[in-house]
């Protein structure tokens, strides 16, 4: 799994949403708002305020999205400065909207008005203090952090300069312990320079959140889920408790197999796994080491990467293939501008942020992806995920700007992955990539590979924000940033640093979402929700196969049900949208357990007599 950044249609709703505005319109709308707020307030005043703010939001988002797109695709000092200026205007506007919305807290308003007002108050991701100099500083820091990550590279001991993409490819394929260690260490040389910037960003973000009435920025983030902040944290712990037994058995088995490959002196069988041996720069998903841990006789007889090559799939054909999944469900094809304006391959002549992302620039049809596509089976699935964002964005385009977002931020991440769960052998045969469907004796291998990507990711998806929440609350202080990061990784993942880390190291900064300021709980939620959505859609489609063999490809009933939820946007609490699809208002991780049940039985058998745990 590759985690994905999404730029929402409302400038204030997502971490790195960068916006500029038309000065005349801003002044005019600000004057209207000031007039509304200068007297005793009523529901009618709330409606006037929301209408004026909506006009400003539309303009902010359009121009700001363009600034963000240019900066991510042409990383220079000038575009970073423009992005920082746009970000400052966006953040200042978001803070102003939030403060003004708070003035209606005690006013009796309609349920729809209250929801919109709460969205204005709660949806800032990096709120600036009410001080122009500090908001400018915060915007500049955000742009600098983004640039440090985007320009990051490493010069090897042999003198070769490698990009993140090149190092990631080595991490995925090399089985040389020392080479893996060099790549792992090399990428982390980019992040120490981020630490002082990050410390100051946290201080300013906390000050902005406190100005809006929250204890700290983490509390503000947790308040954005239609439930009390403390209840949300408890809900994540409850869900993790459901999954942990499956994860523990997967971890135990993988550690044993890695011990056979690298030696138990390098992979102690009673300790966490060294982070550089799991096939991924961040050890967040383990699918790339499938060859080291694959069950015997589980080869399904095909390799998607090889099949893509043999069927002459280039980058565009891969995207076209993913688009056809959505159109088979009844969704309209992507607009011509998508193909004209998206970035599909890494340019040779400039720096870009290669991290895969989906964009909605005008809240209408200007939807795009930005991705340095590699012709692999993994990226074929990632493209399905990215288009999930785009089809979601277009589905809710007729909602008011306040509701042009997913029911909760996990929904956006889950939708594309729900589709990817239907990329089964049955589907691959239907689109002509393979000739025959392997029999059920091969399911353990397929489930193992899926678990290495999905189940292995879940504790990582939980711990990133666990770390940030503790940073924002002051429980983790700057001198303990790195040690606390690894303590949490050992606690949740059973993964450890392969070498002692310097006290000034800033390993969290080597993960895009930390310097990018993108909340990460959405990815944990997405891994819960996608299996629930998949189980529900399979039931709607009339599927009779085991859930892990189900594909909803070409089923219009499933597509119609999915579209109903997508069109809702964030117009109702996420629990209501959840109920439309699953019949329940509470998330339930048993869908994951159902999906991987045959594998879990197999793992328990393989782990008999072993010392599991970390």
Question: In this predicted model, what pLDDT tens digit does every residue of 542-577 receive, in sequence order?
Answer: 999 999 999 999 999 999 999 999 999 999 999 999
Q: Alpha helices, DSSP H only, in 330-376?
A: 336-341
Confidence (pLDDT) at 83: 85
Query: At a CB cut-off of 8 Å and minimum separation 6, what does 293 contact?
Result: 253, 254, 257, 258, 448, 452
Helices then strands, counting H and E runs in the chain, come out as 25, 7
The domains of the chain are located at 10-148, 158-298+444-519+593-614, 304-437+531-583
pLDDT at 33 over 60: no
Average pLDDT over residues 265-271: 96
Number of neighbours of residue 318 by Cβ within 10 angstroms? 21
pLDDT at 37 over 60: no
pLDDT band at 490; cut points 50, 70, 90:
very high
Q: How far apart are the C-alpha atoms of 570 and 468, rounded to whole Å? A: 25
Residue 201: both structure tokens together: 């960003």
Phi-psi region for residue 613, left (φ > 0), alpha (ψ -120 to 50) or beta?
Answer: left
pLDDT band at 213; cut points 50, 70, 90:
confident
Contact of 311 with 428, CB cutoff 8 Å: no
Q: How far apart are the C-alpha atoms of 101 and 120, rounded to whole Å? A: 7
pTM: 0.83
Strand partners, 592: none
Least confident of 388-392, 410-414, 542-546: 410-414
Q: How far apart are the C-alpha atoms of 307 and 301, rounded to whole Å? A: 11
Q: What is the DSSP letter of 159?
A: S
pLDDT band at 413; cut points 50, 70, 90:
confident
Listed in order, strand segments (DSSP E) in 262-364 are 273-274, 357-360
Active-site residues: which are they?
355-356, 385-386, 389, 413, 513, 523
pLDDT at 587 over 50: yes
Q: How far apart are the C-alpha atoms of 523 and 283, rounded to whole Å? A: 15
Strand partners, 359: 7, 368
Question: Helix 132-150 to helix 77-102 angle, to the nearest 10 degrees?
Answer: 130
Confidence (pLDDT) at 8: 36
Contact of 199 with 514, CB cutoff 8 Å: no
Nearest-5° angle of CA 227, CA 233, CA 234?
Answer: 90
Query: At a CB cut-off of 8 Å and minimum separation 6, what does 157 contact?
Result: 182
pLDDT at 268 over 70: yes
Confidence (pLDDT) at 222: 94
Per residue in 281-333, pLDDT tens? Answer: 999 999 999 999 999 988 888 889 999 999 999 999 999 999 999 999 999 99
Per residue in 129-178, pLDDT tens? Answer: 888 899 889 989 998 998 999 899 999 999 999 999 899 999 999 999 99
Confidence (pLDDT) at 29: 54
Secondary structure of 49-88 as H, E, C letters: HHHHHHHHHHHHHHHHHHHHHHHHHCCCHHHHHHHHHHHH
Confidence (pLDDT) at 32: 53
Closest CA to 332 of 393, 380, 413: 393
Closest CA to 575 of 457, 420, 410, 398: 410
pLDDT band at 249; cut points 50, 70, 90:
very high
Residue 82: both structure tokens together: 């423009």
**Is the four-CA dihedral 310, 315, 320, 323 of positive or negative sign?**
positive
Return the higher-pLDDT residue of 32 and 102. 102
Q: How far apart are the C-alpha atoms of 510 and 513, rounded to whole Å? A: 9
pLDDT band at 10; cut points 50, 70, 90:
very low
Nearest-5° angle of CA 355, CA 361, CA 365?
Answer: 115
Strand partners, 161: 155
Per residue in 88-112, pLDDT tens? Answer: 888 788 888 988 998 998 899 999 9
Confidence (pLDDT) at 590: 95
Contact of 217 with 472, CB cutoff 8 Å: yes
Phi-psi region for residue 569, left (φ > 0), alpha (ψ -120 to 50) or beta?
Answer: left
Listed in order, strand segments (DSSP E) in 407-491 are none
């Amino acid at each position: 799994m590759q985690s994905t950044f999404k730029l929402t249609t409302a400038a204030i709703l997502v971490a790195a949403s960068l916006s500029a505005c038309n000065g005349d319109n801003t002044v005019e709308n600000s004057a209207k708002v000031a007039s509304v707020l200068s007297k005793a307030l009523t529901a009618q005043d709330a409606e006037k305020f929301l209408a004026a703010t909506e006009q400003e939001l539309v303009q902010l988002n359009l121009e700001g999205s363009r600034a963000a797109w240019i900066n991510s695709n042409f990383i220079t000092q000038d575009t970073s400065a423009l992005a920082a200026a746009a970000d400052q205007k966006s953040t200042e506007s978001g803070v102003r909207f939030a403060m003004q919305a708070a003035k209606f807290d005690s006013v009796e308003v309609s349920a729809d008005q209250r929801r919109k007002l709460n969205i204005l108050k709660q949806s800032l991701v990096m709120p600036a203090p009410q001080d122009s100099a500090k908001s400018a500083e915060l915007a500049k820091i955000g742009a600098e952090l983004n640039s440090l990550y985007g320009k990051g590279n490493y010069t090897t001991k042999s003198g070769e300069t490698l990009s993140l993409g090149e190092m990631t490819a080595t991490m995925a394929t090399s089985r040389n312990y020392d080479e893996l260690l060099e790549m792992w260490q090399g990428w982390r040389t980019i992040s120490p320079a981020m630490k002082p910037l990050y410390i100051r960003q946290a201080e300013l973000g906390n000050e902005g959140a406190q100005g809006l009435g929250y204890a700290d920025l983490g509390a503000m983030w947790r308040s954005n889920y239609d439930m009390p902040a403390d209840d949300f944290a408890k809900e994540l712990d409850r869900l993790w408790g459901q999954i942990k037994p499956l994860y523990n058995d997967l971890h135990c088995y993988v550690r044993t197999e890695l011990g056979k490959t690298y030696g138990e002196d390098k992979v102690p069988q009673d300790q966490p796994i060294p982070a550089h041996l799991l096939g991924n720069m961040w050890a967040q998903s383990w699918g790339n080491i499938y060859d080291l841990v694959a069950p015997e006789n589980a080869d399904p007889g095909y390799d998607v990467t090889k099949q893509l090559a043999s069927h002459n799939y280039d980058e565009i054909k891969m995207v076209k293939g993913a688009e056809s999944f959505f159109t088979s469900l009844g969704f309209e094809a992507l607009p011509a501008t998508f193909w004209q304006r998206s970035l599909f391959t890494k340019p040779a002549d400039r720096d870009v942020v290669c991290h895969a992302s989906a964009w909605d620039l005008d809240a209408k049809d200007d939807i795009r992806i930005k991705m340095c596509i590699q012709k692999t089976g993994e990226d074929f699935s990632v493209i399905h995920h990215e288009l999930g964002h785009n089809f979601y964005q277009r589905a809710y385009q007729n909602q008011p700007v306040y509701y042009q977002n997913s029911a909760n931020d996990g929904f956006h991440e889950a939708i594309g992955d729900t589709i990817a769960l239907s990329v089964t052998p049955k589907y691959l045969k239907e689109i002509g990539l393979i000739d025959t469907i392997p029999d059920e004796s091969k399911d353990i291998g397929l489930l193992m590979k899926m678990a290495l990507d999905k189940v292995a990711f879940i504790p990582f998806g939980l711990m990133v924000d666990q770390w940030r929440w503790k940073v924002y609350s002051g429980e983790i202080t700057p001198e303990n940033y790195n040690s606390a990061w690894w303590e949490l990784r050992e606690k949740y993942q059973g993964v450890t640093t392969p070498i002692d880390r310097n006290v000034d190291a800033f390993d969290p900064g080597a993960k895009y979402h930390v310097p990018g300021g993108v909340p990460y709980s959405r990815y944990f939620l997405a891994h819960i929700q996608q299996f629930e959505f998949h189980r529900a859609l399979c039931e709607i489609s009339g599927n009779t196969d085991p859930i892990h063999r189900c594909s909803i490809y070409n089923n219009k009933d499933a597509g119609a049900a999915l579209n109903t939820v997508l069109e809702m946007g964030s117009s109702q609490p996420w629990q209501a949208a959840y109920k439309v699809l699953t019949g329940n208002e509470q998330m339930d991780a048993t869908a994951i357990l159902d999906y991987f049940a045959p594998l879990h039985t197999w793992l328990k058998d393989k782990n008999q007599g072993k010392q599991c745990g970390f």
